[in-house]
């Protein structure tokens, strides 16, 4: 089981390929706040809803100084299809080795329909301008999560 991050922790560095195979690093975003969200699989109903919610609110987040990055174990090709199919504007990164997912505490044991399974734990970590964890939210719901973030971060308020 991977360790969950706590506010004040240094956010684990990562460099992962995006939907076009271009390398994106957390370090590229120093000086801006970053919402890093982890989801199980592209092109599934819950993950699509969440990615569309982030896309629909991307301007509000950007206006408040936040970049948004979604990370899943999907290969870049699938992320490209996801982006095209759903007209997504968020940056989607591929972590098939699950190293970043694990470093952020977003991969491990979870309950699914009453059974304990190992997989991606739907999570959101908010990283401040210096690269430290501001908030770490685990086992979030796909539906309504973005609206809750907007309220909690007072974005667009």
Q: b/e for 101-113, b at 16 or more Cβ within 10 A?
A: bbbbbbbbebeee
Active-site option among 5, 26, 36, 47: 47
Classify residue 28 by its DSSP letter. Answer: G
Q: How far apart are CA 16 and CA 50, in angstroms?
A: 21
Q: How far apart are CA 51 and CA 34, in angstroms?
A: 15
146 within 8 A of 53, measured Cβ to Cβ: yes
Which of 133, 134, 136, 105 is closest to 121 using CA atoms?
105
How many CB atoms are closer than 10 A to CB 4? 16
Active site residue 52: no
Q: How far apart are CA 149 and CA 30, in angstroms?
A: 21
- Residues annotated as catalytic are 47
């Amino acid at each position: 089981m991977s360790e969950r991050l706590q506010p004040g922790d240094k956010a684990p560095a990562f460099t992962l390929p995006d939907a076009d195979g271009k390398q994106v690093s957390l370090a590229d975003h120093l000086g801006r706040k970053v919402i890093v969200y982890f989801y199980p699989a592209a092109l599934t109903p819950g993950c699509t809803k969440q990615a569309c919610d982030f896309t629909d609110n991307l301007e509000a987040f950007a206006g408040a100084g936040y970049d948004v990055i979604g990370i899943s174990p999907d290969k870049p090709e699938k992320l490209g299809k996801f982006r095209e199919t759903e007209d997504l504007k968020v940056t989607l990164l591929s972590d098939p080795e699950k190293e970043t997912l694990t470093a952020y505490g977003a991969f491990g044991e979870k309950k699914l329909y009453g059974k304990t399974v190992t997989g991606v734990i739907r999570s959101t970590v908010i990283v401040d301008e210096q690269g430290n964890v501001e908030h770490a939210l685990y086992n979030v719901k796909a539906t309504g999560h973005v609206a809750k973030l907007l309220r909690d971060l007072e974005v667009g308020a």
